[in-house]
Chains A and B, each alone.
Chain A
Amino acid sequence: MNVSRADAEADGSTLSNFESLFRLHYDAQVKRAFLMTGSHEAAHDVVSKAMTTVYQRMAELDEPVLYMSRCVMNGCRDWGRRHVRWSKLVRPGPFVEPAQVDGALDRVELADALAALPHRQRAAIVLRYYGRESESRIAQVLGCRPGTVGSLIHRGLAALRKDLT
């Protein structure tokens, strides 16, 4: 098969763009996925799969970062669904180590409370308070209306405050 120069340049451009995306966003997405799943392995696995999907569709994506964020959150949801099936056989170690951080909440209590939230509330909380994303951006990632995001954050915050204060 002959590959035209234009095709080769397009492929090179896609790879170059993907490399930039990987360099700029991989770590941040892994941190989000870690907060969502509580698992180092799951976080890397989910983000790796999301990145592969982004690469495969790179040429057709208007907003690859948004698409990647969606893939990561969907991957975290799917991981959670599979995880619960074996959770009674799998007893992972503590999500986090306790540590004193000035002006912060109890880390272990927060990790437990976060894990107990329904997926969409947890996602909204992580995107808002860790990712510092706007409600409209969170709505795009979660595929819902901005008003729904407000409700998810409100309910998630109420549950966390009840558990932590």
Chain B
Amino acid sequence: MNLPLEDFEQRLASTLDSLADDVQLDGPMRPDVQSLTSGSDRPSRHLNGSRPAFVMAMAAALILGLLAAGRVSPTTWIEPVTGGAPTSEVVVWLEVGTTDTEAARIQQEIDGRSEVAWLVYYDAEASYAEFVEFFADEPEVLDVVSAESVPTSFHVVLVGDPAPFARWIETFEPVDTVDLAPES
């Protein structure tokens, strides 16, 4: 099917209308005016806890796997913004047994690339805080994960195609995996 542009635009609009109508507008996620204006009791993330059980089990299993692999975390260290226009994002997860010195060396390598516009290191504390926020309504996951077992990572914003950077940084020890994000 190769629709003329005008037909495609019309179908796109009507399908977006249909998708948007799927959203759950009422229920515990919906705030009231008082909660928004009182400065407290604001709605929090994942209020309805609707994520399927298998997702929580999968997350717990993955995290336990990381735990079994013996990940360690460097100490606190946040790298400042280097400037530039972000066009794509990459998460560089670090390998088992990463030391502060090794993490610093990886940071130096990443920072030396001209396409890197922004770089931040998520140490154990920052990673765990974010993890807890994300899984706030899933105690089954939080129960089996400690701060030490959450992997540390670099979050990198790149100018241009992230694929060459990902292929390049993956070759370094102790880089574990590299995730590309469709964000700009």
Q: Do A and B come from one complex?
A: yes
| Chain A residues engaging chain B, CB cutoff 8 angstroms | 15, 18-19, 22, 27, 30-32, 34-35, 40-45, 48-49, 51-52, 55, 77, 80-93, 96-97, 99, 101, 103-105, 107, 110-111, 115-121, 125-126, 129-130, 132, 157, 160-161, 164-165
Given the complex, which residues of B lie within 8 Å of A105, measured CB to CB?
A: 8, 11-12, 15
Given the complex, which residues of B lie within 8 Å of A52, measured CB to CB?
A: 36-37, 42
Q: Are the CB atoms of A129 and B18 closer together than 8 Å? A: no
Q: Are the CB atoms of B52 and A93 closer together than 8 Å? A: yes
Q: Are the CB atoms of B16 and A82 closer together than 8 Å? A: no
Given the complex, which residues of A lie within 8 Å of B91, measured CB to CB?
A: 84-85
Interface size on B, residues (CB 8 A): 59
| Chain B residues engaging chain A, CB cutoff 8 angstroms | 1-3, 5, 8-25, 29-31, 33, 36-37, 42-48, 50-52, 55, 58-59, 62-63, 87-89, 91, 122, 130-131, 134, 153, 155, 177, 179, 181-184
- Which one of B45, B51, B177 contacts A92 once the chains associate, using CB atoms below 8 Å? B51
In the complex with contacts A80-B181, A88-B179, A165-B33 CB distance below 8 A? no
User: Who on chain B is nearest to A129 by CB?
Assistant: B13
CB distance from A61 to the nearest CB of B (A): 15
Q: A15-B33, A165-B3 are in contact. List 15 more A-B contacts (CB 8 A).
A: A32-B20, A48-B36, A81-B181, A85-B153, A87-B181, A88-B177, A88-B179, A99-B18, A101-B14, A105-B8, A105-B12, A118-B183, A130-B20, A161-B8, A165-B1
The CA-CA distance from A91 to B57 in the complex, in Å, is 10
Q: Are the CB atoms of B50 and A40 closer together than 8 Å? A: yes
Q: Are the CB atoms of A87 and B183 closer together than 8 Å? A: no
- Which one of B1, B9, B131, B184 contacts A157 once the chains associate, using CB atoms below 8 Å? B9
- Shortest Cβ-Cβ A-B pairs, 10 listed: A118-B184, A84-B181, A31-B20, A44-B29, A34-B23, A130-B16, A104-B15, A105-B15, A129-B13, A89-B59
- In the assembled complex, 27 residue pairs joining A and B whose CB atoms fall closer than 8 Å, in A order, are A18-B36, A30-B23, A35-B16, A40-B50, A41-B46, A44-B31, A45-B43, A51-B36, A52-B37, A55-B37, A81-B181, A84-B181, A89-B59, A89-B62, A89-B63, A90-B134, A93-B52, A96-B22, A103-B14, A104-B15, A107-B19, A110-B12, A111-B19, A121-B184, A129-B9, A160-B8, A161-B5
User: Who on chain B is nearest to A40 by CB?
Assistant: B24
Q: Are the CB atoms of A87 and B19 closer together than 8 Å? A: no
CB distance from A13 to the nearest CB of B (A): 13
Q: Are the CB atoms of B55 and A84 closer together than 8 Å? A: no
Given the complex, which residues of B lie within 8 Å of A19, measured CB to CB?
A: 33
Q: Are the CB atoms of B8 and A129 closer together than 8 Å? A: no
Of B36, B55, B63, B155, the most chain A CB neighbours within 10 A belong to: B36
- Which one of B1, B3, B55 contacts A91 once the chains associate, using CB atoms below 8 Å? B55
Q: Are the CB atoms of B25 and A22 closer together than 8 Å? A: no
Given the complex, which residues of A lie within 8 Å of B11, measured CB to CB?
A: 103-105
